[in-house]
Amino acid sequence: MQVRLDIKDLARYPFLKESQQYVGTQSESLDQFLAGSQGGLALGKAADRVNLAITFRRSKDEGEKRPEVPADDIHVKLEIFSYGLARVLVSCMKDRTLIDRLARYEARRAAQFLADEDPDKKAYVAESLGMDLNEARMPLVAYVDLVAPLRDERWRLVNRSVHSGSVLLRGDDEQREIDELLAERIRVVLLRQLPLQVPPSVCEQVRPITEHLNATYQQQMLRDLGPIDEGRYPPCISALITAVTEGKNLTHPGRFAMTAFLHTIGMSSTQIVELYCRAPDFDLQTTMYQVGHITGGGGTEYSPPSCATMQTNGICIGKNALCSRVSSPLGYYRRKKE
């Protein structure tokens, strides 16, 4: 399918190959671009973009402001550049949860534009992502892969009609389901492209911005999670804490999961180290180093593992009803707050 895309379309859907080609014709090397005045402006807009991702809510708010594309070409161009630079920033920050937030934000942003888009352009965007909007069905394997992260029961295969190797979309809600699946497809594609391999010189160049964004992100995470509340711990984390405080050694995956989880919800490194003091193999210097490494002392701040990883490592313990509705221990903790 061939459609005519103008510069504003490239700003609305900056993940399209045409947008990337446009950027390639408009700028020199990344280092040189960032050193110029236009690069500085685009970098500021990229930081704003990451900030929007940091404060992004998965559930739609009634008062949520719809995205807009600037009216003049100069600011439209900066908007296009800011998409790529936002990906550079989160890649330099090396935080998978922030990368996930950016992918979700960009998918929601694109979906809001697509909701009012010309049908041919909408079909073209979908086609570029491997989806055919003219079909009210999806191949079974593609469907299962796409809806795996979606938690709504209606997406489960047992609640769908399957015919000749394809999953049928519901007639009454067909358009809504197509829109939701397209938004999820955008998220998946964007997430698979990250993190980028960014030259160390570029990461150093943008370090003041990434440090500020990281501080903002940590503050937002603490606001989202609220005060530390042991009553909201998932059973797996409670079991690990109980084991170590009873003087038992944890496996390496268990130590990693417990440390990353407690750090993410706001517990200090000193408090985490103190939890390990009863372990038979406790060594203060070693434990401080290990905790520091997991919590970002080595330059990379690690996220808590998913439920699937916990199961693989044999530390998914005491599973209850809520566990079946979340995909990670952190998701469990958030749900218990609601």
Provide CB contacts within 8 A for 46, sequence distance 6+: 81, 82, 83, 84, 85, 86, 88, 89
Examine the domain organization and report whether 210 and 276 are in the same domain. Answer: no
Same domain, 36 and 83: yes
Q: Is the pLDDT of residue 338 over 70?
A: no
Q: Taking 80 as the threshold, does the pLDDT of residue 26 lie above it? A: no
pLDDT in the model for residue 237: 95
Question: Residue 303 falls within a domain, yes or no?
Answer: yes
Buried b (16+ CB within 10 A) or exposed e, 243-261: bbeeeeebeebbbbbbbbb
> Does a structural domain hold residue 36?
yes
pLDDT tens for residues 205-215? Answer: 999 999 999 88
307 is in an annotated binding site: yes
148 in a structural domain: no
In a domain, 246, yes or no: yes
The residue among 189, 203, 333 whose CA lies nearest residue 267 is 333
- Identify whether residues 13 and 114 lie together within a single domain: yes
User: What amino acid occupies position 243?
Assistant: A
Query: What's the pLDDT at 61?
Result: 56
pLDDT band for position 281 (50/70/90)?
confident
In a domain, 166, yes or no: no
Q: If you average pLDDT over residues 294-316, what whole number do you get? A: 88
Give the DSSP H or E segment for 85.
helix 73-93
157 lies in some domain: no
Q: Residue 307: is its pLDDT beyond 90?
A: yes
Confidence (pLDDT) at 240: 94
pTM of the model: 0.72
Whether residue 300 is predicted with pLDDT greater than 90 in this model: the reply is no
What pLDDT was estimated at residue 64? 66
Binning pLDDT at 50, 70 and 90, where does residue 125 land?
very high
For residues 188-212, give the mean pLDDT. Answer: 94
pLDDT above 90 (res 257): yes
Total number of domains constituting the chain: 2
Mean pLDDT computed over 228-254: 90
User: Residue 182: what pLDDT?
Assistant: 92
At 167, which helix (H) or strand (E)?
Answer: strand 166-168
Confidence of residue 84 (pLDDT cuts 50, 70, 90): very high
CA distance 90 to 86: 6
Model pLDDT for residues 311-335, shown as the tens digit of each residue: 999 999 999 999 988 999 999 998 8
Predicted confidence at residue 58, as pLDDT, reads 63
Of 180, 199, 217, which residue is a domain's last? 217
Higher-confidence position of 276 and 48: 48
217, 251, 272: which is the final residue of a domain? Answer: 217
Domain span including residue 22: 7-136+171-217
Ligand-binding annotation for 236, yes or no, is yes
Q: Is residue 2 part of a domain?
A: no
Q: Is the pLDDT of residue 69 over 60?
A: yes
Domain boundary among 184, 217, 250: 217
124 and 261 assigned to the same domain? no
In a domain, 160, yes or no: no
Confidence of residue 65 (pLDDT cuts 50, 70, 90): confident
Tokens representing 193 are 């492209």
Instruction: Kindly state whether residues 65 and 12 are assigned to the same domain.
Output: yes
Higher pLDDT, 156 or 128: 128
The answer to whether residues 203 and 266 belong to one domain is no
Residues 300 and 260 in one domain: yes
- Specify the pLDDT at position 59: 57
92 is annotated as contributing to ligand binding? no
240, exposed or middle or buried, with CB in 10 Å at 0-12, 13-18, 19+?
Answer: buried
Chain mean pLDDT for the chain:
88
Q: Are residues 210 and 303 in the same domain?
A: no
- Indicate whether 22 and 87 sit together in one domain: yes
Mean pLDDT value of segment 133-146 = 84
Confidence tier at 108 by pLDDT (50, 70, 90): very high
Q: Could you tell me if 213 and 235 lie in one domain?
A: no
Q: Is the dihedral of CA 329, 331, 337, 338 positive or negative?
A: negative
pLDDT above 60 (res 63) = no
**Across 120-129, 145-154, 272-281, which has the greatest mean pLDDT?**
120-129
Residues 255 and 177 in one domain: no
Residues 11 and 97 both lie in one domain: yes
Span 145-174, pLDDT tens digits: 888 878 778 888 888 888 888 888 876 677
